[in-house]
Amino acid sequence: MHRRGVGAGAIAKKKLAEMSKQLDMFKTNLEEFASKHKQEIRKNPEFRVQFQDMCATIGVDPLASGKGFWSEMLGVGDFYYELGVQIIEVCLALKHRNGGLITLEELHQQVLKGRGKFAQDVSQDDLIRAIKKLKALGTGFGIIPVGGTYLIQSVPAELNMDHTVVLQLAEKSGYVTVSDIKASLKWETERARQVLEHLLKEGLAWLDLQAPGEAHYWLPALFTDLYSQEITAEEAREALP
């Protein structure tokens, strides 16, 4: 029994050494690939996503630090830092309209407007990666799945699962009523009212008492009429406190 145990341990150790060697080889090849395609990685969002996925397979995060081989060679650390600053500027500039919630699509459009036509292209995947870095810093940012897209939360409001479900319910029309919630979610009236009152208190919803039938609770982040006015990078910076 003892000898078989040693044999099994030796085999496991050998396999581990082989895997480690393969991993080192893959990492070396990845570094060579990154060096060769540096410009494509920096300029092409789709190429950048593929490269990030390749890195993830071996546990390498080019964004983990602002220094080191990956960030110095590719400049991706600076890219996502600058993108994070721009995201904050846009969210602050629009906060008085949407209460701190914005769709990923709207954020993407506003960021592209602020960058200008000669700037490095940015994808929605880039935005999500930058927001996750902001979230890790404790800045109040969060990502809320809504239907087939995301809402970006830029204020430190406490939103639980009830709030998220109501946001998802309001996705198609941009508003929701107590009756909508009761019919769709099978909730009691008080539960629905508590969620809506919280959204009002946090500035994430607007109350329309003139609506036909019953009060409508509008979610400004979910309808685009408010965003007909273009926000430039300068206007965004002027909105900063």
Taking the domains of the chain in order of start, what are their residue ranges? 2-74, 82-238
Calculate the CA dihedral of residues 121, 124, 128, 134 and round it to 10 degrees: 50
Residues 132-148 as b or e (16 or more Cβ within 10 Å = b): ebbeeeebebbebebee
- Rounded Cα–Cα distance for residues 144 and 167 (Å): 9
- Rounded Cα–Cα distance for residues 240 and 188 (Å): 41
Strands of 216-218's sheet, edge to edge? 175-176, 216-218, 206-208
What local confidence, expressed as pLDDT, does residue 130 receive? Answer: 87
- Rounded Cα–Cα distance for residues 126 and 130 (Å): 6
Q: What is the pTM of this model?
A: 0.61
Pick the CATH number of 82-238 from 3.40.50.620, 3.40.50.170, 3.40.640.10, 1.10.10.10: 1.10.10.10
- 41-55 pLDDT, tens per residue? 667 777 777 777 777
- 187-204 pLDDT, tens per residue? 999 999 999 999 999 889
Q: What mean pLDDT is reported for the chain?
A: 77
